[in-house]
Amino acid sequence: MIPLKHRITNTPLSAFGLLACLAIFSSSQATPDTDLASQLSATISETESIPTLASLRKALSEGSITSEEITTKYLERIAVLDQSGPNLRSFISLNPDALVQAKASDRRRRDDRLLGPLDGIPIAIKDNVETSDPIPTTAGSTALMNYFSNKDSPIIESVRNAGAVILGKTNLSQWANFRSTYSVSGWSSVGGQVKNPHILDRTPCGSSSGSAVAVAAGLVTLAIGTETNGSIICPAHTNGVVGFKPTVGLLSTEGIVPISNSQDTAGPIATTVLGAAALMDAMTSSAHDFESELENASVAGKKIGILRFAQGDRDDINAAFERVLGVLRGLGAELTEIGSFPLPDSQFWVDELTVLETEFAALIDRFLSDRKLKSGPQSLTELIEFNQINSAVEMPLFGQEHFLSSLKRAGTNSPEYQSALQNVRRAARSQGIDQLLAIAGSDLLIAPSGPIAPPIDVINGDVWPTRVGVGYLAAVAGYPHITVPMGVVQGMPIGVSFFGASGQDSLVLATAHAWQTASKIFPHPKFVPSAVARENLAQTQRGLDL
């Protein structure tokens, strides 16, 4: 999640067909004598042609590629881009059984007994989600480095039953960004600092930073993230990919390191909305068929409320947003302007913190005690003590203010908590998104997803520009929210958000898919070291020779 103090050349991947898929995924592995710089350059240049889920499935179905070949290629790219080269550090661990799972999928395909549409497709899992693979679930902390659950969380069980290959666990903001008020997004003591592949010294945002970066950099096509307040949407926005936060309760949160039972949810991160919908289908293991509902997706006649109060004052972001609105009008959408929205709860952020810290204290105690770790903390109190004893490793950059404050909360039966929960829910639901939809007579709401990603700041923690977007309303309400890339500003991608009422997940996905199909905006990372290293800005740093 985002700390409470700081909320806040386009080529369509879907256009790449079988030939591009084969060109990238059938290239032979470099020999030991290959020049490392040339290998890195070639791997980076491939990024613009990394195939989408649709291309991979087509190639698999036609027998032109195998799951083993796809998985091997991803592992090669991880070695070059994640573990060396720019050192993105988007993965904490790789699954030693990934190739075994891929080969099993290939056998099923040969025997015509596929498990589902994702059979043979590698996916990445945020490292706060339990899996039965021989890799730990750490939440980014050395306190859990030796925790092997040996059991799939329900969403992973569903994905595995659909035939997906578990490629590995992705890095994250430690404890899902709920340890300190001065946290650094994308940093964990286990995985180090995740880097944004577009400009390496800009924040990847969090807490699902590793999942978003892995997808953006072409290290995997699909990834699972989690969100309490912005942890899927923000990293997807800043890394130029699709992130979908479903209605809270649609996906099971069992087996996920918790923060809040009222706001926690898992969700997909993908290059395309279609990919996100396909992963949602695999995770739900229910009657939902989100992907098929995209086939005839249209915004014609859809009423969409424009949240003008949430767009900020940057001309470049607003220009991109206006282009989005122009495309939607051209597709037949009916747009209504909403100019202002005062939060009905004057103590909204105070109440929100009360809710999160109270729920966290109860949930993390239960999570740790239920697992009966052979080594490691079994309560929040023991976790705080662990961090203090191991402060050089766990707290070199920031403290554990949220942990300490959570320990002092009165509990979920206290009048303070109950009042705060009612206040924030009313503000975000009946007097928030529900009211905004009613004011505009709209089916959906739209706004920019956020500001341009700031630099990583290990001294001050996350320091964000003026807030853009209202993702916090959807997070607190528990309503569906999706971000889709809408352009690039100064080398950094920015996203546009679609919001819906509770349970309107299909409508949100379908509208976003229609927009993405029409816009054909798919930002590709350039792996630039810093903003001023960009060619068009380098001269501005040198000044004039007078």
Rounded to the nearest 10 degrees, the angle between the axes of helix 53-61 and helix 67-77 is 140
Catalytic residue among 126, 169, 245, 302: 126
pLDDT given at position 7 = 32
149 is catalytic: no
Exactly one of 158, 207, 209, 252 is catalytic; name it: 207
Q: Check 55, 90, 93, 231 and give the catalytic one.
A: 231
- Res 32: pLDDT: 53
User: What tens digit of pLDDT does each residue of 360-379 get?
Assistant: 999 999 999 999 887 889 99
For residue 16, pLDDT over 50 is answered with no
Residues with Cβ within 8 Å of residue 182, at least 6 apart in sequence: 3, 398, 399, 401, 460, 461, 462
| CA gap 169, 173 in Å, rounded | 13
Question: What mean pLDDT value characterizes the chain?
Answer: 93
Domains observed in the chain: 4-297+500-530 (3.90.1300.10)
Tokens at residue 161, please?
A: 């039953």
Cα separations (Å) of 53 from 45, 99, 164, 173, 309?
A: 20, 19, 12, 27, 36
Predicted confidence (pLDDT) per residue in 36-71, tens digit: 889 999 999 999 999 999 999 999 999 999 999 999
Beta bridge partners of 243: 269, 483
Least confident of 202-206, 210-214, 295-299, 537-541: 537-541
Q: Is the pLDDT of residue 238 over 60?
A: yes
Q: What is the pLDDT of residue 381?
A: 98
pTM summary value: 0.95
Q: Is the pLDDT of residue 151 over 80?
A: yes
Tell me what the mean pLDDT of segment 303-320 comes to.
97
Cα–Cα distance for residue pair 461/79, rounded to 1 Å:
29
Buried b (16+ CB within 10 A) or exposed e, 196-211: bbbbbbbbbbbbbbbb
- Residue from 12, 86, 3 nearest 517 by CA: 12
**What pLDDT was estimated at residue 23?**
65
| Predicted local distance difference test score (pLDDT) of residue 9 | 34
Poorest-confidence range of 318-322, 463-467, 530-534?
A: 530-534
* Beta-carbon contacts of residue 29 (< 8 Å; ≥ 6 apart): 72, 76
Q: What is the mean pLDDT of residues 199-223?
A: 98
Determine whether 231 is an active site residue: yes
Question: Residue 126 catalytic?
Answer: yes
Q: Is the pLDDT of residue 14 over 80?
A: no
The closest of 328, 274, 320, 326 to 301, measured between CA atoms, is 328
Instruction: State the Cα–Cα distance between residues 109 and 103, nearest whole angstrom.
Output: 10
